């Protein structure tokens, strides 16, 4: 369900001359998937192997366990989830240091939740970032302007925001960069794309309809206005976000909705990035792994 939602968000037809977001091809997102195969499967990444194993859990419920297999044959356990996929971007220089990257996607099952991503840099001294969880999937793409890999997703914390249904709640877009110190928010580098979203959203509000909304009888404008506010906010333009709220939201409700947006954002995807610091996968003294 979230892949469908993100496709709708990422594949909106841009206005003529506006900057476009990369378009996902979900059929190629999963390079190899554990749950589709009853037997152990492996995938080569540089001089390493990624091994996916279907294992039994409590109550007979199967899950998938992934391992990084070193050239020596030593296996290092990585991500375990209901299903685990070797994900698109694997084998690419995701960290920008000349080494192949590994991206594993875990999915917990269910209609709306949840994805977990483990991202590793597989050089001579391999390291893995701490897993990051989100309600919506990641899209790995190469930024043509900077020739570096980026991750496009949306902040899943805004699902069902302020009573909106799952299908009609807008999700703020987020752009991340993987480095040896963790995942970092680089959304402000994509202002042109956010501006395209803003232009599209504004075009969906007819003349005089905001006035109706401020009189509390135009509920359809609520997600559109939120989308504009999110686009300013997540591209680093807080002042423009709150100015938009002041102009387009009912006066009596502005402080409440602003407080709710700030609180939701503070517990969302961006709040998890500080916890993605890496750990080494290289052997420590005595042959043990960290």
Q: Are 31 and 87 in contact (CB under 8 A)?
A: yes
Q: Give the rounded percent of residues in the chain with a pLDDT score beyond 90.
A: 62
Q: Which residue has the higher pLDDT, 10 or 144?
A: 144
pTM score, two decimals? Answer: 0.86
pLDDT tens for each residue of 176-231: 999 999 999 999 999 999 999 999 998 887 666 666 566 555 567 889 999 999 99
Q: Are 137 and 283 in contact (CB under 8 A)?
A: no
Question: What's the pLDDT at 175?
Answer: 98
Record the tokens describing residue 116, joined without a space: 């977990």
pLDDT at 12 over 60: no
pLDDT tens for each residue of 40-66: 899 999 999 999 999 887 566 788 999
Question: What's the pLDDT at 218?
Answer: 53
pLDDT tens for each residue of 134-149: 999 999 999 988 999 9
Residue 206 CB-density burial (10 A; 0-12 exposed, 13-18 middle, 19+ buried): exposed
Closest CA to 126 of 285, 258, 280: 280
Question: Roughly what angle, to the nearest 10 degrees, separates helices 221-234 and 191-203?
Answer: 170
Residue 55 Cα distances to 5, 37, 103, angstroms = 31, 12, 20
Q: Are 3 and 134 in contact (CB under 8 A)?
A: no
Q: Are 64 and 80 in contact (CB under 8 A)?
A: yes
Record the tokens describing residue 280, joined without a space: 């080494």
Record the tokens describing residue 87, joined without a space: 């994900």
Handedness of CA 35, 37, 40, 42 (dihedral sign): negative
- φ, ψ for residue 282, nearest 5 deg: -80, 150
- Calculate the CA 285 to chain-centre distance: 36
d(CA 242, CA 239): 5
pLDDT tens for each residue of 63-83: 899 999 999 999 999 999 999
Q: Average pLDDT, stretch 232-252?
A: 94
d(CA 191, CA 284): 43
Q: Which residue has the higher pLDDT, 220 or 289?
A: 220
**Reported confidence tier of residue 26, pLDDT bands at 50, 70, 90:** confident
What single DSSP character describes residue 31? E
Question: What's the pLDDT at 23?
Answer: 86
């Amino acid at each position: 369900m979230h892949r469908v939602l993100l496709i709708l968000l990422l594949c909106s037809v841009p206005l003529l001359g506006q900057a476009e977001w990369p378009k996902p091809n979900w059929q190629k997102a999963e390079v190899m998937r554990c749950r589709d195969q009853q037997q152990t499967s492996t995938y080569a990444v540089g001089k390493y192997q990624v091994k996916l194993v279907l294992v039994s859990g409590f109550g007979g419920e199967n899950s998938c366990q992934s391992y990084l297999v070193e050239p020596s044959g030593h296996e290092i356990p990585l991500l375990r989830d209901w299903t685990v996929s070797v994900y698109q971007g694997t084998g690419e220089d995701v960290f920008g240091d000349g080494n192949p990257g590994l991206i594993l996607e875990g999915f917990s099952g269910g209609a709306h939740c949840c994805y977990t991503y483990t991202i590793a840099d597989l050089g001579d001294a391999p390291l893995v970032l701490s897993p990051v969880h989100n309600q919506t999937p990641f899209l790995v793409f190469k930024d043509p302007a900077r020739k570096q890999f980026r991750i496009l997703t949306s902040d899943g914390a805004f699902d069902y925001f302020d009573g909106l249904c799952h299908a009609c709640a807008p999700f703020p877009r987020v752009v991340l960069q993987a480095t040896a110190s963790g995942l970092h928010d680089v959304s402000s580098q994509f202002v042109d794309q956010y501006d395209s979203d803003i232009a599209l959203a504004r075009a969906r509000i007819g003349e005089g309809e905001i006035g109706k909304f401020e009189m509390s009888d135009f509920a359809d404008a609520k997600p559109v206005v939120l989308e504009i506010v999110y686009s300013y906010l997540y591209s680093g333009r807080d002042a423009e976000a709150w100015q938009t709220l002041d102009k387009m939201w009912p006066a009596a409700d502005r402080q409440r909705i602003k407080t709710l947006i700030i609180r939701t954002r503070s517990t969302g995807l961006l709040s998890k990035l500080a916890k993605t610091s890496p750990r080494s996968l290289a052997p420590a003294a005595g042959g043990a792994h960290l």
